[in-house]
Amino acid sequence: MIDNNYKLWEEQDKLKNIEKKANQNHIPIIDKETANILKTVVLIKKPKLILEIGTAIGYSTLWLAKFSPQFSEIVTIERNEDLLNMALKNIKDFGYEDKVNFKFGQAEEIIPYFRRRFDFVFIDAAKGQYLNLFKKVQEKISDNGIIICDNVFYKGLVRKNNKLAHKIRTIVVNMRDFLHYLEENDDFHTEIIDLADGISVSRRRNKDEKSRTFGTGR
């Protein structure tokens, strides 16, 4: 018999309070479709070392911390100090502070200094910078490691031909370039999931796979 007082993770009051505050303050957080993809991949992959680019208030960080192995480490990067302080509080409130390593600053400047290889990377940062961020991190990921990027359809505009303001057009063009890069990148096998606002899942091919696919097409 199921205890009526039992609540699923996503129904926990503390988590819902974070969602409510994010909505009230117009702070973007991942939706449930993306959250459940993170949950599923992390449960299957069991990564020991995770990199998150774009902490915001730590909502996605909490999902990663909840479902990753007990002794895994999450390195998360945020460039907005106010958001980072909120994330620190949220992570501490859930008791995951020993599992999360916070980095403040620009991801493009921080990533080159990493010496360890990550098993799992989640990118949810400035949408116009995805190509640059992916290139920075792709050499920092282990064979068969996974990189997930959120919002790759950018409000659905990537798949439309609407006339756009210059700033938005630049982001859309950059995102299209990023998706083309993923399609042509033989070091990774990528699938685009048509959920939420588009999610890319890229797995780094191991050495045996790359030797079989090199020069043969995909």
Q: What is the residue range of 150's domain?
A: 9-208
Residue 216 lies in a domain: no
pLDDT of residue 212: 57
Residue 81 lies in a domain: yes
Residue 3 lies in a domain: no
Residue 82 lies in a domain: yes
Which residue's entry shows tokens 């083309």?
A: 180
Residue 170 lies in a domain: yes
DSSP structure string for the chain: ---TT---GGG-HHHHHHHHHHHHTT-----HHHHHHHHHHHHHH--SEEEEE--TTSHHHHHHHHHS-TT-EEEEEES-HHHHHHHHHHHHHTT-TTTEEEEES-HHHHGGG--SPEEEEEE-S-GGGHHHHHHHHGGGEEEEEEEEEE-TTTTTGGG------HHHHHHHHHHHHHHHHHHH-TTEEEEEE-STT-EEEEEE--HHHHHHHTTT--
pLDDT of residue 203: 97
Q: Give the CATH number of the domain where residue 187 resides.
A: 3.40.50.150
pLDDT of residue 127: 94
The pLDDT tens digits for 162-186 are: 777 888 899 999 999 999 999 999 9
The pLDDT tens digits for 81-135 are: 999 999 999 999 999 999 999 999 999 999 999 999 999 999 999 999 999 999 9
pTM summary value: 0.91
Residue 46 lies in a domain: yes
Residue 213 lies in a domain: no
The CA angle 72-6-73, to the nearest 5 degrees, is: 5
**How many domains are contained in the chain?**
1
> How many Å separate Cα 19 from the centre of its chain?
18
Residues contacting 121, CB < 8 A, separation 6+ = 50, 51, 52, 53, 137, 140, 141, 145, 146, 147, 148
Q: How many CB atoms lie within 10 A of CB 97?
A: 14
pLDDT of residue 3: 47
Residue 64 lies in a domain: yes
